[in-house]
Chain A
Amino acid sequence: MRCQDFQDRLERRWDDFQMRAHTEECPACQERLALVNWSRQVMLAAEQNVTPPAMAAVWAAVRRATNTSWEFSLTRSFRRLAPYLVAVTVLFIVVAAFQPGIVTSRPSRYASALAAGPDTKVASVLDPDLAPQKPGDVLGIGGR
């Protein structure tokens, strides 16, 4: 018998005359047999026995898993879409920033009015000297 055949039979838990004869003449396989027997003893000593759960508990787990898989698929869909949503939002902001009608880098006349200080139109009612000097100078900031 070849060592390889012996080892194969050993792993398959065979025990026959040929195997015994082989171990008597092959120290390597004898050692291997001892190792297998020893590890089997260790495994049997370490064995933990547990009571399996009831069938009802398994059906409850099926229901839980079904719900979780729905929630998971929803969140997964959202997670997949999220980068696209962010990209679209950023693109919209960038495009909007370059639209002169929406956002502009030039200072508007309203901004100039704010920068000028107090509302001179209102002030002009109280003080005739502050009345607008030019027909188009609605805000009265055309200068005197």
Chain B
Amino acid sequence: MSGVLPELAAADDPDLALVLRVQQGDAAAFEELYYRHQAGVSRMVANFVRYPEVVPDLVQEIFAKVYLRFDSYSPRLPFRPWLYRVASNHCLDFLRHRRRQPLQVSTTMEDDPTREWTLPDPAGERMQARLVARDLAGKLLLELSPRDRMLLVLKEINELSLEEIGAITGLRLSAVKVGLFRARKRMLEKYRKSERELERRGKPQ
């Protein structure tokens, strides 16, 4: 793959021994690999797809796919980027098949006036502010293209290295950096646009 960098040599891959055992048919080794990576993959899928109800199914399918494709895995690339590449492709396929609807998060009173979010105690205001921020942040993230969202999720949520992101997305290191910068700029532009719209409608932020 073009994006594989020398820093990502698989020789010091902590998963290599387990991967080799799985390739020899050791199911227990696969279970150990699953427990190692289940949290990270689930976090990536949840924040990229942003359909909480389908995340467990997608994660199951991803690991099933990985298990069935172990024969084709070559340790030239460390296991984690390979796993995340399978996961990201699976998520992209899912989004392609499911026509994306606008985010349906009713955490604020604006979205769902029948729900009462104001709490009686002083912490209530902080809670509501957090919910509004979360809602807004979720919307901003969803308005990004899948590619931009994937880059930001891998970098900021999964805290993967630039080299790993390059290996997952097939981008060169410089392209990853530029892609991240542009994704952030676009997110900021969308935020400013939504702020302007709110001001125009006379709603308080």
Residues of A within 8 A of B56 (CB): 50-53, 57
Residues of B within 8 A of A46 (CB): 47, 134, 137-138, 140-141
Residues of A within 8 A of B185 (CB): 35
A40 lies within 8 A of chain B by Cβ: yes
Residues of A within 8 A of B64 (CB): 58, 61-62, 64-65
B116 lies within 8 A of chain A by Cβ: no
Residues of B within 8 A of A44 (CB): 156
A48 lies within 8 A of chain B by Cβ: yes
Select the stretch in A7-15, A78-86, A108-116 that faces chain B. A7-15
Q: Are A47 and B60 in contact (CB under 8 A)?
A: no
Q: Are A40 and B60 in contact (CB under 8 A)?
A: no
Partner of A52, one of B38, B68, B161, B180: B38
B77 lies within 8 A of chain A by Cβ: no
B133 lies within 8 A of chain A by Cβ: yes
Residues of B within 8 A of A12 (CB): 161-162
A60 lies within 8 A of chain B by Cβ: yes
* Distance from B172 Cβ to chain A, minimum over Cβ atoms (Å): 14
Contact A43-B68, Cβ < 8 Å, known A11-B162, A11-B177, A35-B184: no
Name A11-48 residues within 8 Å CB distance of B.
Answer: 11-12, 32, 35-36, 38-40, 42-48
Q: Are A36 and B138 in contact (CB under 8 A)?
A: no
The range of chain A's interface size is 20 to 34
A55 lies within 8 A of chain B by Cβ: yes
B168 lies within 8 A of chain A by Cβ: no
* Distance from A143 Cβ to chain B, minimum over Cβ atoms (Å): 74
* Bound form: Cα–Cα A12–B176 in Å: 12
Contact bitstring B174-189, A, C-beta under 8 A = 1, else 0: 0001001101110110
Q: Are A53 and B68 in contact (CB under 8 A)?
A: no
Residues of B within 8 A of A35 (CB): 181, 184-185, 188
- Which of A12, A45, A69 has the most B CB atoms < 10 Å from its CB? A45
* Distance from A15 Cβ to chain B, minimum over Cβ atoms (Å): 15
Contact A43-B162, Cβ < 8 Å, known A36-B184, A65-B68: no
A105 lies within 8 A of chain B by Cβ: no
- Which of A35, A53, A60, A69 has the most B CB atoms < 10 Å from its CB? A53
Q: Are A61 and B133 in contact (CB under 8 A)?
A: no
Q: Are A52 and B162 in contact (CB under 8 A)?
A: no
* Bound form: Cα–Cα A11–B154 in Å: 12
Partner of B46, one of A42, A43, A48, A62: A48
Contact bitstring A51-93, B, C-beta under 8 A = 1, else 0: 1110101101110111001000000000000000000000000
Given contact pairs A39-B152, A50-B46, a sample of 20 additional A-B residue pairs in the complex whose CB atoms are under 8 Å apart: A7-B177, A11-B180, A36-B184, A38-B184, A39-B187, A40-B156, A42-B187, A43-B157, A45-B130, A45-B136, A46-B134, A46-B140, A49-B43, A51-B42, A58-B67, A61-B61, A61-B63, A62-B63, A62-B67, A65-B64
Q: Which 4 pairs between the two chains have the least Cβ-Cβ distance?
A: A46-B137, A61-B60, A45-B137, A43-B156
6 chain-A/chain-B pairs, Cβ below 8 angstroms: A35-B181, A51-B42, A52-B41, A62-B67, A65-B68, A69-B68
